[in-house]
Structure 1
Amino acid sequence: MDGTTNWRNVRTISIVTFVDALQFSFYMWSFWPYIQQIDSTMGATFVGIIMAISGVGEALAAPIFGFWANKIGRILPPVYTSLVMSGLGNALYLLLGAFSRPVAPYAIVVSRFLSGAGTGNRGCFRALVACNSEGVDRAKALASSGGAALVGLTIGPAVQLVFNFMGAEGVSLGPLVLSQYTAPAVLAIVINVATAISIKFFLDDSLHIPPKTETDSTKDMVESEDSGSGAVAQWLCARNAIRKVTSSTPPALRSTQTKGRSIVQYVNSLLQDTTPRLSVPLRMDVIAVIICMGTRSIRMLATSNIESIGAPFTEIMFNFTHAQALEWNSYDQTIVGALTIAVFMVYAFTNYTKWVSERSNCLIAITGLFVFYCITMPWPFLPGNVDCARFIGNGTHNWVWCEMLPPLNQWLYYVAYAAIYGICLPMLNNSLQALYSRVLGQGPQGTMQGVNQAVGSVARILGPLVMSSTFSHFDPQATWSVNIVLLAVVIGIWIVAYRRLVPLELRKTGKIHDSRKPSIVPSSNTTSYKKSVTTSQM
Structure 2
Amino acid sequence: MGNPKQKPSDKKSIISIDYDEPQTDWRSIYVAAALSFVGSAQFSLYFSALWPYLQILDSTSTEQFFGYIVAIYSVGQIISSPTFGYWSNAIKQVRIPLYVGLFLMFLGNALYIALELATFPKKYLMFICRFITGAGSGNVTLLRTYASTASTFKDRPRAIAFVTCGQALGMTCGPALQLIFTPLGYPGFQLFHTLTINLYTAPAYLACAMNVFGAIALKFLFKENYAGIIEPSPSSSPAKPTMATSAIASLPMYDITAVLVCYCTRFTQMFINTNLETIGSAFSMMMFNFSETKAVTYTAAAQGCVGIFTFLTYFAYIGLKLETYISSRKACMLSLVMLIIFHLVTYSWPFIPGHVEIHNSSSVIAAELRVGCNTDKFSWCEELAPVNVYLYYAAYIIVIGFAFPIMNITVTTLFSKILGPRRQGTQQGIFQVSGGVARMIGPIAVSMLYTEFGPRMAWNMEIFVIGATLLAWCFFYRRMIPLQIPSIDPEICVMPTGGTKIVPNTPKPRTMSSTSASNE
- Coarse TM-score class (shorter-chain normalised): 0.7 to 0.9
Secondary structure, counterpart of 1:30 in structure 2: helix
Residues 118-163 of structure 1: CA deviation (Å, up to 9, x unaligned)? 1100111111111211112211110111112101211111111111
Separation of aligned partners in 1, 2:274 and 2:362: 25
> Which sections of structure 2, spanning at least 5 residues, go unmatched?
1-19, 364-369, 489-520
1:435 Cα deviation from its structure 2 partner: 0.7
Structure-2 change in CA distance of 1:392 and 1:442 (3 Å): farther
- What is the aligned partner in structure 2 of residue 66 from structure 1? 85
Residue 268 of structure 2: which of 295, 298, 307 is its match? Answer: 298
1:505 Cα deviation from its structure 2 partner: 3.0
Residue 133 of structure 2: which of 98, 105, 115 is its match? Answer: 115
> Which sections of structure 1, spanning at least 5 residues, go unmatched?
220-227, 236-277, 510-538
- What is the aligned partner in structure 2 of residue 27 from structure 1? 46
Structure-2 change in CA distance of 1:213 and 1:279 (3 Å): closer
List aligned pairs for 1:440-519, cutoff 5 A: 440-505=419-484
Whether the aligned pair in 1 keeps the contact of 2:27 and 2:221 (CA below 8 Å) is no
One-letter amino acid matched to 1:167: G
Structure-2 change in CA distance of 1:346 and 1:397 (3 Å): farther
Q: Is 2:152 the partner of 1:152?
A: no
Whether the aligned pair in 1 keeps the contact of 2:42 and 2:137 (CA below 8 Å) is no
Structure-2 change in CA distance of 1:392 and 1:341 (3 Å): farther
1:82 Cα deviation from its structure 2 partner: 0.7
Whether the aligned pair in 2 keeps the contact of 1:70 and 1:207 (CA below 8 Å) is no
Structure-2 change in CA distance of 1:331 and 1:397 (3 Å): farther
- What is the aligned partner in structure 1 of residue 366 from structure 2? none
List aligned pairs for 1:245-324, cutoff 5 A: 280-324=250-294
Give TM-score scaled by structure 1 length.
0.80
- What is the aligned partner in structure 1 of residue 353 from structure 2? 383
One-letter amino acid matched to 1:301: F
One-letter amino acid matched to 2:75: V
Between Structure 1 and Structure 2, the one with more helix by share is 1
List aligned pairs for 1:124-143, cutoff 5 A: 124-143=142-161
Secondary structure, counterpart of 2:196 in structure 1: strand
List aligned pairs for 1:220-231, cutoff 5 A: 229-230=242-243
List aligned pairs for 1:330-369, cutoff 5 A: 330-369=300-339
Q: Percent same amino acid at aligned positions?
A: 35
Secondary structure, counterpart of 1:41 in structure 2: coil
One-letter amino acid matched to 2:297: E
Whether the aligned pair in 1 keeps the contact of 2:23 and 2:152 (CA below 8 Å) is yes
Whether the aligned pair in 2 keeps the contact of 1:24 and 1:188 (CA below 8 Å) is no
Separation of aligned partners in 1, 2:104 and 2:55: 25
Structure-2 change in CA distance of 1:397 and 1:284 (3 Å): farther
Q: Is 2:208 the partner of 1:189?
A: yes
Secondary structure, counterpart of 1:406 in structure 2: coil
Residue 112 of structure 2: which of 83, 93, 108 is its match? Answer: 93
1:7 Cα deviation from its structure 2 partner: 1.7
One-letter amino acid matched to 2:242: S
Larger Rg: 1
1:32 Cα deviation from its structure 2 partner: 0.9
1:469 Cα deviation from its structure 2 partner: 0.7
Q: Is 2:295 the partner of 1:325?
A: yes
Structure-2 change in CA distance of 1:71 and 1:279 (3 Å): closer
Structure-2 change in CA distance of 1:211 and 1:384 (3 Å): same
One-letter amino acid matched to 1:229: T
Separation of aligned partners in 2, 1:306 and 1:231: 47
1:213 Cα deviation from its structure 2 partner: 7.0
Give TM-score scaled by structure 2 length.
0.83
| Worse-matched range after superposition: 417-426 or 388-397 | 388-397
Whether the aligned pair in 1 keeps the contact of 2:25 and 2:225 (CA below 8 Å) is no
| Worse-matched range after superposition: 380-389 or 295-304 | 380-389
Q: Is 2:124 the partner of 1:106?
A: yes
One-letter amino acid matched to 1:127: T
Whether the aligned pair in 2 keeps the contact of 1:50 and 1:108 (CA below 8 Å) is yes
Structure-2 change in CA distance of 1:401 and 1:67 (3 Å): same
One-letter amino acid matched to 2:403: C
Separation of aligned partners in 2, 1:459 and 1:217: 45
Residues 63-90 of structure 1: CA deviation (Å, up to 9, x unaligned)? 0011111111111111111111101110
1:380 Cα deviation from its structure 2 partner: 2.2
- What is the aligned partner in structure 1 of residue 70 from structure 2? 51
Residues 455-506 of structure 1: CA deviation (Å, up to 9, x unaligned)? 2211111011100111111111110000011111111111111111011137
- What RMSD over aligned residues (CA atoms) do the two structures have, in Å? 2.7
Secondary structure, counterpart of 2:242 in structure 1: helix
Whether the aligned pair in 2 keeps the contact of 1:40 and 1:396 (CA below 8 Å) is no
Residues 436-459 of structure 1: CA deviation (Å, up to 9, x unaligned)? 111111111111111111122111
1:19 Cα deviation from its structure 2 partner: 3.0
